[in-house]
Amino acid sequence: MPQKDPAVSDWIVLPQSMIDDFAQITNDHQFIHVDPRRARTDTPFESTIAHGFLTLSHLTQMAESTLPALEGTTRSINYGFDRIRFISPVRSGTRIRGLFSLELIEERTPGELTLHHDVTVEAEGQDRPALAARWIMRHYLN
């Protein structure tokens, strides 16, 4: 039951302050993320870029604001990914949004639904997506 048109989230800005905070939390201080002067001169990006995992971590916010709730759900869990590809860098200060297409629903046991969404994250002003993934969520119904 693939979804015809994707559900599209609101835009989210990834400012340098968020990138710096993420670097602190993950201990990933590579200069392409945290040193604007060096990133401007020593990379083809002309600025710092967000960590791929920072971009990925916003999928939850995008999904919660975009995907409809399943009636009767008592809890939902992130079951994982079949694939994740970081396709294009996201420059500091860029807005991103998610496009979610439901590709598969499985009911392994009564009241347990596993939803597979193809997700693309767009970066405003870029021709290529920032990332593409197959995200799996499990929902438990009463």
Per the DSSP assignment, residues forming a β-bridge with 78 are 137
Res 32 pLDDT > 80: yes
pLDDT of residue 1: 54
Res 115 pLDDT > 80: yes
Structure tokens at 88: 């294009």
Q: Which helix (H) or strand (E) holds 84?
A: strand 73-86
**What is the percentage of the chain residues whose pLDDT exceeds 70?**
98
Structure tokens at 75: 């809890």
Digit-coded pLDDT (tens) for 125-134: 999 999 999 9
For the chain, the structural domain boundaries read: 7-141
Confidence of residue 26 (pLDDT cuts 50, 70, 90): very high
- At residue 62, the 3 state secondary structure works out as helix
Summary mean pLDDT of the chain: 96
Closest C-alpha among 69, 48, 46, 53 to residue 115: 69
Q: What is the mean pLDDT of residues 66-88?
A: 95
The label of the residue with tokens 């971009």 reads 55
Of the candidate CATH numbers 3.10.129.10, 3.40.50.2030, 3.30.70.100, 3.40.640.10, the domain formed by 7-141 belongs to 3.10.129.10
